[in-house]
Amino acid sequence: MEKKIFTRAFEVLEGTTSDRFTRIFQIFMVLLISTNVLVVIIETEEVIAENLKSFFYPFEIISVTIFTIEYISRIVVCPLDPKYHGKRFARLRFALTPMMLIDLLAILPFFLPFFVSDLRFIRVIRLFRLFRLFKLARYSEPLQTLGEVLKSKAGDLAVAFFVLFIVLIFSSSLMYHVEHVAQPEVFSSIPASMWWGVVTLTTIGYGDTVPVTTIGKILAAGIAILGIAVYAIPTGIMASAFTEQMNKKRTKDHNCPHCGKKIDND
């Protein structure tokens, strides 16, 4: 009987079945997580927060209770997962996975104030409640696809952003040496010039820091054009990765889940 309960709990929590109760549980969790994130946002409006204070705190207690039960339940039943079945320290390994760490960070802000009295620390920790937003990844196929894309192309994206960082350092250094004499208060150092580099390379163009010399303007124009090309690299990587992932999903959907052979729709 106990084994049957554990198996059923695992099926519902991990969504390995698509029965009515599992779907209801997933919809409920999505609504609960979304409402929690909405509450965190609304709480920053002092007038609204004061008027709804009597609602927010009980809702927080109920939410944290549910999230805590979910967190503990996942750890308890995780050995039923083939990835952890029969392995040493299975529950510890599972607890250290990214999604479980997110679950832990989502509930910690409620419990830490009982042990810490520093108000500044508590205020910062309360921001961790926004990690509840990432819990949606469990119940959202598009978010899971995004996670798989980022994981599969992590190396390529790291190289792309390293190139971007090199371009940022180089362009900021050039602009510092060109504009420092004309605007010592604006381009006071290379780190200060990096703000201009970020704004220019991302083509945001706030206009709060601009070159005034002729050479500086020519250099800025070239760097702005270069920024478009540089940002196209990670964009292209992500686009191709999404295409690959969607093709894999389509192939998987058209294969028999038991034998792996392609299903002929004809």
100-151 pLDDT per residue, tens:
998 998 898 888 888 877 767 777 777 778 778 888 888 777 778 888 888 8
The residues, any chain, with a CB within 8 Å of residue 102's CB and separated by 6 or more, are: 131, 134, 135, 137
DSSP labels, 196-258: HHHHHHTT----SS---SHHHHHHHHHHHHHHHHHHHHHHHHHHHHHHHHHHHHHHHHTB-TT
> Residue 165: phi, psi to the nearest 5?
-65, -40
* pLDDT for the residue numbered 245: 84
Report the SS3 class of residue 184. Answer: coil
* pLDDT for the residue numbered 138: 80
What share of the chain in percent tops pLDDT 90? Answer: 33
Residue 237 CA, chain-centre distance (Å), reads: 18
CATH of domain 154-253: 1.10.287.70
CA R_g for the chain: 25
The residues, any chain, with a CB within 8 Å of residue 143's CB and separated by 6 or more, are: 136, 137
Element housing 79 (H / E): none
Assign domain 2-139 one CATH number from 3.40.50.2300, 1.10.10.60, 1.20.120.350, 3.40.50.300. Answer: 1.20.120.350
CA within 13 Å, CB half, 6: 11
- Closest by alpha carbon to 62, among 100, 97, 31? 31
Q: How far, CA to CA in Å, does 6 sit from each of 1, 66, 79, 123, 262?
A: 9, 18, 10, 38, 34
pLDDT in tens, 221-265: 999 888 888 888 888 998 888 888 888 877 765 555 555 555 555
- pLDDT band at 67, cuts 50/70/90? very high
- In this model, does residue 2 exceed pLDDT 70? no
* pLDDT for the residue numbered 189: 93
CA distance 60 to 70: 15
Number of H helices, E strands in the chain: 11, 0
Domain segments of the chain: what residues? 2-139, 154-253
Q: How far, CA to CA in Å, does 239 sit from each of 227, 232, 234, 244?
A: 18, 10, 9, 9
* pLDDT for the residue numbered 193: 92
Give alpha helix (H) positions in 112-213. Answer: 119-126, 141-152, 154-179, 190-201
* pLDDT for the residue numbered 228: 86
Torsion angle of alpha carbons 208, 212, 216, 218, nearest 10°? 100
